[in-house]
Every structure is written in C-alpha cells, then in structure tokens.
Amino acid sequence: MSISAEAPASPSRDERESANRQGDWGKNPINPRVLLVGTADTKSEELLFLKSCLEAGGGQALIMDVGVLAAAPFPPEIPNTAVAAAAGMTLQAIADCGDENTAMAHMARGAAWLTREYFEQGRIDGLLVLGGTMGTDLALEVAAALPLGVPKLIASTVAFSHLLPPERISPDLIMMLWAGGLYGLNELCRASLAQAAGAVLGACRLARRPASDRPCVGITSLGSSALAYMKRLKPALEQRGYEVAIFHTTGMGGRAFEQLAEAGRFVAVFDFSLQELANHLGGSCVSAGASRLTAAGRAGVPQIVAPGATDMVDYPAWAPPPARLAGRASHAHNRLIASAMCTPPERAQTAREIARRLREAKGPVCLLMPLQGIEEWDRPGAPLHDP
C-alpha cells in the first residue's frame, strides 16, 4: 500500500455526522443536559443533591433510576421500569431472579441501551453515574455506550481501585472518589458530589467534537525514548494534508485507537507499536484487551503494520516483577512501568498472532520488518539488543 502525495478528499460534514450518529454534542451548551444515573431506592438523597448542584450550575438533570428493590421516592425522568423494559424484561422478573449480580447486569444492559438512545436523539450532552461497587459495575457499562469524547463521569466509592478491570474503563472516562458517602449525605460527601457535578458541567460546556476537514491517520507509538519514528512521520504526513493522531500504547491508548478505527475515523493507520498485543498474550495488566489489532481490519481501513516493541512485556515498576519474569533482562522506564524481555517462544507466539489477525483484515495491509531492532533499546549496541 502506498500513501499518495496529496490527501484524499475528506467526508463532508453531513456524511461524518450521519456515519457517526453522535447527536448534537460538542456545541458547548450553556445549559448542558446531564443524564444522572443511580439507584434511587438506596441513594435518593444523593441523586437529588446532585440534581440540585447541576441545576444550580446552570445545567439540566435527567435522573435514570436503576434500582431494583423499590420504586423511587420521587418521580425520576426515566423510571426503573423503563430501564428493565429496555433490557427486554419486567422489573419484577429482574427482582425475582434471586441474585443481585444478575439483576444489576440486566439493569446495566437496559441503562446502556437507553443512554445510547438518548444520546443519539440529541437529548443529553453528558453522563454522571453515582455508585458503590454495584453502581460502578453498572456505570462502566453505561459509559462504554457513549462515543469517545462525550463527557462521562463516575462518582464512585471504589474510584482508582484495583477492582476495576482496565478493559472495562472507557479511554476518556473521568472518575472521582466519592468520599464518606456510603450511607446518606454529610458534608464530606456533599463536597465530593458537588465537585463531580461541576466537573461534568464544565466538561459538557467545553467538549470539542472532532470535526477536522483533513483526513486523519492514526499512528501507535510509545514515547520517543522507545520508538522515535513519529518524529519523522508526523511532519511528513501533515505536509501532505493529513491530520495525525498518535496513540500511546500503554493499554488505554490502544483501546482508544481501536475504538476510533472501528468507527471509521481514520483513512489509514500506521500501527507500529504492538507491545499491547505482546502484553495481552503474556498476561500483563498493561493490555488493550483481546481485540487489539483487529478494528482497522474489520473496518477495511488500510494498515501499515510493524512489530514495534513486541520483544518486551510490561509490568508495574512499583511492584516486584511477576514470578514468570524473574531473572529476565529488564528496563525500568520510570517508577510506574517496567519491561522485561520476552523469550523466543513468546516472540514466536506474538508473530503468529500478528499474522493471523492481519490475514483477517478486509482492507489493504503492508507489514514492515525493521532490520535495526524493533525498539530503541533493541538497536545494535543498546542494552537490550538481542539479534
């Protein structure tokens, strides 16, 4: 595949809006409409307090009740019966399932469907979900129903916790710790909730809807100390009329890259940093999930691919290396992330998986094989060089 000297004509604004079906968000509303989600049977005080904060800040709040055990003590804009119906069930059937995990999974499915519907109809500008472990589980699914860039905030008692699986966290999710608010309101949790309301209002007012008239090329990379090619690629592509978006492939960046590729936001991708795939196969927590290196192929987007940094598997630098990585050559990039060298069988497994995923692509594919190392630390003379 070759990149032409001049960028192709980009889709018209109407075509982009029709393709993406993303409502009216990004128009910087003075009075944002926020979908406020929570269990009104257990957190009615908190939901009403949040609604008052949103309204005091000039916003509008639509409360969605996802509680199962009882009717809300106030009339929510979206009652729990409507949420259950959106999941294809009755509220009574969900309550009768006899298991709170199953019940909340049903409500999460209905809440996510309604959230997407309200957004596509242009009825909401952002999302705020309130919850403990149960509500946060639901909130992650609801947030994932909205496109990248739409403001989404979770006020949670388990924010930033190891309980949250990285693959379920939306790449642009805002999360705040809801301190001291497990049972009812107090001044500590009022302060936290007021900040959450202010944060989502500000995000809605300042949200930018990507609307460049230039066609966009997506590139994956690590920092320039590991992979330096973007220093040359970015200006060269921009001179030819392309917009360039570079994604940091440390888990969240790869997920965002895959989402946007599947949504058709790129005219081509240069997927040169596949360490997240090696991480996934090696069981690392620094993973973009099982679907890495598949979205562009499914969407038929032209791909130029290289196995950048697939000779390493990442682990948190602040913890001891996993037992399986003990004794391997390693490199600590900073106090957050370190990398250990993969074994030859592991590298062969990654190579086979890259080939399998590229064979399934519906669009043009070009695979490049670097001859001077697959990342900066693997160059001849570098500390991790391993020909």
Give the number of domains in the chain.
Answer: 2
Name the packing angle between helices 133-143 and 100-120 (round to 10°): 30
Same-domain status, 141 and 264: no
Confidence tier at 18 by pLDDT (50, 70, 90)? very low
237 is a domain residue: yes
In a domain? residue 23: no
- Please check whether residue 38 lies inside any domain of the structure: yes
* pLDDT single digits (tens) 306-350: 999 999 999 999 988 899 998 898 888 899 999 999 999 999 999
Domain assignment of residue 187, yes or no: yes
* Boundary-marking domain end, from 167, 182, 206: 206
The answer, yes or no, to whether residue 6 has pLDDT greater than 50, is: no
What pLDDT score does 13 carry?
38
* pLDDT at residue 225, as a whole number: 61
**The amino acid at 304:** I
- Residues 375-382 have a mean pLDDT of 82
Does 198 share its domain with 305?
no
| Residue 32: band (very low, low, confident or very high) from pLDDT cuts 50, 70, 90 | very high
Confidence band, pLDDT 50/70/90 cuts, at residue 167: confident
Whole-angstrom distance, CA of residue 174 vs CA of residue 138: 15
For residue 80, the domain's CATH number is: 3.40.50.12020
Q: Is residue 22 a part of any domain in this protein?
A: no
pLDDT of residue 276: 95
Residue 376 has a pLDDT of 81
pLDDT grade for 240, boundaries at 50, 70 and 90: very high
Same domain, 188 and 244: no
Whether 330 and 199 share a structural domain: no
> Is 211's pLDDT higher than 80?
no
Q: Are 77 and 202 members of one domain? A: yes
Which of 206, 231, 260 is at the close of a domain?
Answer: 206
Does one domain contain both 262 and 361? Answer: yes
Q: Is residue 383 assigned to a domain? A: no
User: Is pLDDT of 7 > 50?
Assistant: no
Q: 146, 178, 206 — which closes off a domain? A: 206
Does the pLDDT of residue 11 top 70, yes or no? no
**Model pLDDT, residue 356:** 98
How crowded is residue 356: how many other Cβ atoms within 10 Å of its Cβ? 10
Q: pLDDT by residue (tens digit) across 357-372?
A: 999 999 999 999 988 8
Given this model, what pLDDT does residue 24 score? 60
* Residue 354 within a domain: yes
Higher-confidence residue: 40 or 11? 40
What lies within 8 Å, CB to CB, of 233 at 6+ separation is 219, 244, 270
Averaged confidence pLDDT in the chain: 89
The pLDDT score that the predictor gives to residue 381 is: 84
pLDDT of the residue at 166: 80
The CATH number covering residue 277 comes to 3.40.50.12030
Residues 310, 196, single domain; the answer is no
Q: Check whether residue 224 and residue 198 sit in a common domain.
A: no
For the segment 170-205, what is each residue's pLDDT rounded down to a tens digit? 889 999 998 887 778 899 999 999 999 999 999 999
Q: How far apart are CA 277 and CA 271, in angstroms?
A: 11
| Among 20, 16, 22, CA closest to 124 | 22
- Do 235 and 190 sit in the same domain of this protein? no
Q: Tell which residue, 129, 128, 137, 131, has the closest CA to residue 109.
A: 137
Phi, psi of 37 (to 5 degrees): -115, 135
Q: Are both 184 and 267 inside the same structural domain?
A: no
Task: List pLDDT tens digits, range 76-123.
Answer: 999 999 999 999 999 999 999 989 999 999 999 999 999 999 999 999
Query: What domain range includes position 242?
Result: 212-378
Pair 370, 221: CB distance under 8 Å: no
Residue 3 has pLDDT above 50, yes or no: no
pLDDT at 165 over 90: no
Residues 315 and 332 in one domain: yes
317/216 same-domain check: yes
Tally of residues, the chain: 387
User: What pLDDT, on the 0 to 100 scale, is given for residue 10?
Assistant: 41
**Is 176 within the bounds of a domain?**
yes
Averaged over 292-308, what is the pLDDT? 97
State percent of the chain over pLDDT 70.
92
For the chain, give the percent of residues with pLDDT over 90: 70
- Residue 226 binned pLDDT confidence (cut-offs 50, 70, 90): low
Q: How many Å separate Cα 96 from the centre of its chain?
A: 33
Each residue's pLDDT tens digit, 136-150: 999 999 999 999 889
